[in-house]
Amino acid sequence: MATGTRAVAKSDPAALIHLDPESGLTLQAQIRQRLVRLVLEEGSWPAGKRIPSSRELAGQLGVSRNTVVLACQQLVSEGYLLSRERSGLYINPEVRDPEVGFAHPAGKRQRPRPGSAGIAARRGPAQAGDAAGRSSGVPEFSFVDGPFDASLYPGADWREAVRLSLGAREIQDWAANDGSADDPMLIDEIRSKILPRRGIQAQPDEILVTLGARQALSLIAALYGGAHARIAVEEPGDPEARGRFSKAGSTLVHLPVDGQGMVIDARLDSCTAVHVTPSHQVPTAVTMSMPRRRRLLQRAAQLGIAVIEDDRVPESNYLAHAHPALRSLDQEGNVVYFSSLGRVLGSWLRMGFMVAPATVIAAARELRSQSAGHPPLNNQRAVAHYLALGHYDARAKRLAQEFRRRWTALRDALNHYLHRYVVTSPSMGGTAFWIRGPEDLDAAAMVGESARRGVALEPVDRYFATGEHPANCFRMGVSAIPLEQIRPGVQKLREIFMDLGAGGSERLESSCGRWLRGDALKRTVTGATLRLETVYGDPCTIELRKDGSMVGCAGIDGEDRDTGRWWVDGDLWFRHWDRWAYGEPSAYYAVIDGSKVKLFNLDKRLVDVIGIEPPAG
Amino acid sequence: MATGTRAVAKSDPAALIHLDPESGLTLQAQIRQRLVRLVLEEGSWPAGKRIPSSRELAGQLGVSRNTVVLACQQLVSEGYLLSRERSGLYINPEVRDPEVGFAHPAGKRQRPRPGSAGIAARRGPAQAGDAAGRSSGVPEFSFVDGPFDASLYPGADWREAVRLSLGAREIQDWAANDGSADDPMLIDEIRSKILPRRGIQAQPDEILVTLGARQALSLIAALYGGAHARIAVEEPGDPEARGRFSKAGSTLVHLPVDGQGMVIDARLDSCTAVHVTPSHQVPTAVTMSMPRRRRLLQRAAQLGIAVIEDDRVPESNYLAHAHPALRSLDQEGNVVYFSSLGRVLGSWLRMGFMVAPATVIAAARELRSQSAGHPPLNNQRAVAHYLALGHYDARAKRLAQEFRRRWTALRDALNHYLHRYVVTSPSMGGTAFWIRGPEDLDAAAMVGESARRGVALEPVDRYFATGEHPANCFRMGVSAIPLEQIRPGVQKLREIFMDLGAGGSERLESSCGRWLRGDALKRTVTGATLRLETVYGDPCTIELRKDGSMVGCAGIDGEDRDTGRWWVDGDLWFRHWDRWAYGEPSAYYAVIDGSKVKLFNLDKRLVDVIGIEPPAG
pLDDT (tens digit per residue) in B367-420: 999 888 889 999 999 999 999 999 998 888 889 999 999 999 999 999 999 999
Q: What percentage of residues in chain A have a pLDDT greater than 70?
A: 84
Q: Is A131 part of a structural domain of the chain?
A: no
B583-594 pLDDT, tens digit each: 999 999 999 999
pLDDT at residue A581, as a whole number:
93
Q: Is A5 part of a structural domain of the chain?
A: no
Q: What residue type is B390 in one-letter code?
A: G
Q: Cβ–Cβ of B214/A373 closer than 8 Å? A: yes
Nearest to A211 among B175, B177, B373 (CB): B373
Which range, of A410-414, A444-448, A557-561, averages the lowest pLDDT? A557-561
B350 and B336 housed in the same domain: yes
Q: Cβ–Cβ of A247/B370 closer than 8 Å? A: yes
Q: How far apart (Å, rounded) are the C-alpha atoms in residues B480 and A176?
A: 11
Task: Kindly tell me if the per-residue pLDDT of B13 is higher than 60.
Answer: no
Is residue B159 within 8 angstroms of chain A, CB to CB? Answer: yes
Q: Is B3 part of a structural domain of the chain?
A: no
Instruction: Choose one of A361, A389, A417: the last residue of a domain.
Output: A389
Q: Chain B partners of A346 at a C-beta cutoff of 8 Å? A: 171, 174-175
Q: Cβ–Cβ of B175/A148 closer than 8 Å? A: yes
Nearest CA in chain B to A158: B166
pLDDT at residue B156, as a whole number:
85
Nearest to A379 among B168, B177, B376 (CB): B376
Interface probe for B, chosen from A247, A348, A378, A395 (most Cβ of B below 10 Å), is A348
B27-40 and B377-388 helices, crossing angle to 10° = 60
Q: Chain B partners of A374 at a C-beta cutoff of 8 Å? A: 350
DSSP string, B490-554: HHHHHHHHHHHTTT---BGGG-SSEEE-HHHHHHHHTT-EEEEE-TTS-EEEEEE-TTSEEEEEE
A363 and A479 housed in the same domain: no
| Mean pLDDT confidence for A502-524 | 90
Q: How far is B287 from chain A (nearest CA, A)?
A: 27
Q: Cβ–Cβ of A371/B372 closer than 8 Å? A: yes
Q: pLDDT band at residue A616, thresholds of 50, 70 and 90?
A: confident
| Mean pLDDT confidence for A427-454 | 93
A336 and A411 housed in the same domain: no
pLDDT at residue B40, as a whole number:
67
| Mean pLDDT confidence for B150-169 | 83
| Mean pLDDT confidence for B234-238 | 96
Q: Is the peptide bond before A236 cis (omega within 30 degrees of 0)?
A: yes
DSSP string, B10-56: TT-GGGS----TTSSS-HHHHHHHHHHHHHHSTTSSPTTSBPPPHHH
Expressed as residue numbers, the domain containing B44 is: 13-96
A297 and A328 housed in the same domain: yes
Task: Kindly tell me if the per-residue pLDDT of B147 is higher than 60.
Answer: yes
Is residue B146 within 8 angstroms of chain A, CB to CB? Answer: no
Q: What percentage of residues in chain A have a pLDDT greater than 90?
A: 59
DSSP string, B297-333: HHHHHHHT-EEEEEESS---BSSSPPPPPHHHH-SSS
A87-114 pLDDT, tens digit each: 778 777 666 654 433 233 333 333 333 3
A489 and A353 housed in the same domain: no
Nearest residue to A597 via CA among A543, A546, A518, A532: A532
Task: Kindly tell me if the per-residue pLDDT of B450 is higher than 70.
Answer: yes
Instruction: Choose one of B389, B420, B444: the last residue of a domain.
Output: B389
Contacts of B257 (CB under 8 A, 6+ apart): B234, B235, B236, B237, B263, B281, B284, B286
184-213 of B, contacting A, C-beta below 8 A: 210-212
Nearest residue to A463 via CA among A474, A476, A451: A474
Q: Which residue has the higher pLDDT, A614 or A75?
A: A614
Is residue B331 within 8 angstroms of chain A, CB to CB? Answer: no
Give B207's strand partners.
B355
Q: How far apart (Å, rounded) are the C-alpha atoms in residues A486 and A143?
A: 8
Nearest residue to A184 via CA among A384, A340, A373: A384
Q: How far apart (Å, rounded) are the C-alpha atoms in residues A303 and A296?
A: 11
Q: Cβ–Cβ of A168/B155 closer than 8 Å? A: yes
Which range, of A108-112, A463-467, B295-299, averages the lowest pLDDT? A108-112
Give B599's strand partners.
B590, B608
Contacts of B123 (CB under 8 A, 6+ apart): B579, B582, B583
* Extended strands (E) in B300-451: 306-311, 335-340, 352-355, 423-424, 432-436
A316 and A352 housed in the same domain: yes
Q: Chain A partners of B378 at a C-beta cutoff of 8 Å? A: 162, 348-349, 379
B380 and B439 housed in the same domain: no
Q: CB pairs below 8 Å between A and B: how many? A: 127
A451 and A565 housed in the same domain: no
Q: Is A267 part of a structural domain of the chain?
A: yes
Q: Is the ipTM of this complex over 0.85?
A: no
Which range, of A381-390, B119-128, B328-337, B366-375, averages the lowest pLDDT? B119-128
Q: pLDDT band at residue B79, thresholds of 50, 70 and 90?
A: low
Q: Chain A partners of B244 at a C-beta cutoff of 8 Å? A: 370
Q: How far apart (Å, rounded) are the C-alpha atoms in residues A439 and B288?
A: 70
- 3 state DSSP class of B6: coil
A263-277 pLDDT, tens digit each: 999 999 999 999 999
Within its chain, how far is the Cα of B92 from the centroid? 23
CATH code at position A174: 3.40.640.10
Q: Cβ–Cβ of A150/B175 closer than 8 Å? A: yes
Q: Is A134 part of a structural domain of the chain?
A: no
Q: Is B283 part of a structural domain of the chain?
A: yes
pLDDT at residue A39, as a whole number:
72
Q: pLDDT band at residue A41, thresholds of 50, 70 and 90?
A: low
Q: Cβ–Cβ of A372/B351 closer than 8 Å? A: no
Q: How far apart (Å, rounded) are the C-alpha atoms in residues B531 and B533?
A: 7
Q: pLDDT band at residue A260, thresholds of 50, 70 and 90?
A: very high
Interface probe for B, chosen from A378, A379, A479 (most Cβ of B below 10 Å), is A378
pLDDT at residue A610, as a whole number:
94
Q: Is A127 part of a structural domain of the chain?
A: no
Q: Is A408 part of a structural domain of the chain?
A: yes
CATH code at position A542: 2.40.128.640
Q: Is the peptide bond before B283 cis (omega within 30 degrees of 0)?
A: yes
Q: How far apart (Å, rounded) are the C-alpha atoms in residues A35 and A52?
A: 11
Q: Chain A partners of B379 at a C-beta cutoff of 8 Å? A: 376, 378-379
Nearest residue to B15 via CA among B45, B46, B50, B49: B45
pLDDT at residue B76, as a whole number:
74
pLDDT at residue A18, as a whole number:
64
CATH code at position A91: 1.10.10.10
| Helix (H) or strand (E) segment spanning residue B459 | strand B458-459
Q: Cβ–Cβ of B166/A154 closer than 8 Å? A: no
DSSP string, A154-209: --HHHHHHHHHTT-HHHHHHHHT--SSPPPHHHHHHIIIIIGGGGT----GGGEEE
A479 and A522 housed in the same domain: no
Residue B261 near residue B286, CB atoms below 8 Å: yes
Q: Chain A partners of B373 at a C-beta cutoff of 8 Å? A: 211-212, 214-215, 350
Is residue B147 within 8 angstroms of chain A, CB to CB? Answer: yes
pTM of the model: 0.79
B514-524 pLDDT, tens digit each: 999 999 999 99
| Mean pLDDT confidence for A521-540 | 94
Q: Cβ–Cβ of A175/B379 closer than 8 Å? A: no
Nearest CA in chain A to B177: A348
Nearest to A378 among B218, B349, B374 (CB): B349
Which range, of A238-252, B151-165, B180-194, averages the lowest pLDDT? B151-165
Number of domains observed in the structure of chain A: 4
Q: How far is B277 from chain A (nearest CA, A)?
A: 19
Instruction: Choose one of A96, A113, A135: the last residue of a domain.
Output: A96
Is residue A148 within 8 angstroms of chain B, CB to CB? Answer: yes
Over the Cα atoms of chain A, what is R_g?
Answer: 27
Is residue B371 within 8 angstroms of chain A, CB to CB? Answer: yes
55-94 of B, contacting A, C-beta below 8 A: none
A165-209 pLDDT, tens digit each: 887 677 777 766 666 889 999 999 999 999 998 999 999 999 999
Angle at A589 between CA A588 and CA A595, to 5 degrees: 105
Nearest to B171 among A210, A346, A377 (CB): A346
Q: What residue type is A143 in one-letter code?
A: F
Task: Kindly tell me if the per-residue pLDDT of A5 is higher than 60.
Answer: no
376-405 of A, contacting B, C-beta below 8 A: 376-379
Which range, of A36-50, A219-233, B189-203, B465-479, averages the lowest pLDDT? A36-50
Q: Chain B partners of A338 at a C-beta cutoff of 8 Å? A: none
B229 and B368 housed in the same domain: yes
Residue A101 near residue A316, CB atoms below 8 Å: yes
Q: How far apart (Å, rounded) are the C-alpha atoms in residues B199 and B321?
A: 12
Q: How many helices (H) and strands (E) does chain B have?
A: 17, 25
Is residue B168 within 8 angstroms of chain A, CB to CB? Answer: yes
Interface probe for A, chosen from B354, B378, B479 (most Cβ of A below 10 Å), is B378
| Mean pLDDT confidence for B40-44 | 61
Q: pLDDT band at residue B609, thresholds of 50, 70 and 90?
A: very high
Q: How far apart (Å, rounded) are the C-alpha atoms in residues B78 and A280?
A: 55
Q: pLDDT band at residue A40, thresholds of 50, 70 and 90?
A: low
Is residue B351 within 8 angstroms of chain A, CB to CB? Answer: yes
How many C-beta neighbours within 10 Å does residue A337 have? 25
Nearest CA in chain B to A181: B348
| Mean pLDDT confidence for B351-369 | 96
Q: Pick from A107-121, A568-582, B36-50, B114-128 the range whose average pLDDT is largest.
A: A568-582
B368 and B399 housed in the same domain: no
Q: What percentage of residues in chain B have a pLDDT greater than 90?
A: 59
- 3 state DSSP class of B226: coil
B408 and B384 housed in the same domain: no
| Helix (H) or strand (E) segment spanning residue B67 | helix B65-77
Q: Which of the 8 DSSP states describes residue A11?
A: T
Q: How far apart (Å, rounded) are the C-alpha atoms in residues B547 and B544?
A: 8
